[in-house]
């Protein structure tokens, strides 16, 4: 189940295909894969948010009897990454929200 989470999120964020060896290098040796061009956060942030989403879901499974579902974990990881991306925009002096569109009379 957790492998499915890693495979799906890995293919979304990194240029290299998922392998257990690459995951081990990222987790144990801090040798991270290259992030896709469309993503601007450091690779460690992606790995950390995926781990955090898995840990939170595991915690809720153990203590709150909520099911551990890969789809929920993946959605939570994406939400965490969106928050980090918005924080990066603010640090870079840009608005994290689009300019409002309105019509002039």
Residue 98 belongs to some domain of the structure = no
Residue 12 belongs to some domain of the structure = yes
Q: Say how far apart CA 10 and CA 2 lie, in whole Å.
A: 12
Residue 104 belongs to some domain of the structure = no
pLDDT at residue 61 in the model: 94
pTM, to two decimals: 0.84
Residue 103 belongs to some domain of the structure = no
Parent domain of 49: 2-91
Buried b / exposed e over 31-49, threshold 16 CB at 10 Å, is: ebbebeeebebebebbbbb
Residue 86 belongs to some domain of the structure = yes
103: left (phi over 0), alpha (psi -120 to 50) or beta: beta
Of residues 40, 31, 38, the one with CA closest to residue 89: 40
Residue 102 belongs to some domain of the structure = no
Residue 99 belongs to some domain of the structure = no
Residue 51 belongs to some domain of the structure = yes
- Identify the H or E element spanning 96: none
Number of domains in the chain: 1
pLDDT at residue 92 in the model: 86
Per-residue pLDDT tens for 13-37? 999 999 999 999 999 999 999 999 9
Per-residue pLDDT tens for 56-90? 999 999 999 999 999 999 999 999 999 999 999 88
Q: Say how far apart CA 96 and CA 33 lie, in whole Å.
A: 26
């Amino acid at each position: 189940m957790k492998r499915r989470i890693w495979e799906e999120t890995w293919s979304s964020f990194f240029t290299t295909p998922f392998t257990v060896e690459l995951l081990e290098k990222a987790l144990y040796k801090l040798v991270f894969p290259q992030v896709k061009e469309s993503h601007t956060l450091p690779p460690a942030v992606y790995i950390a948010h995926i781990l955090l989403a898995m840990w939170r879901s595991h915690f809720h499974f153990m203590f709150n009897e909520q099911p551990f579902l890969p789809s929920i974990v993946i959605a939570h990881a994406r939400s965490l990454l969106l928050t980090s991306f918005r924080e990066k925009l603010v640090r870079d002096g840009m608005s994290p929200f689009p300019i409002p569109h309105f019509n002039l009379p």
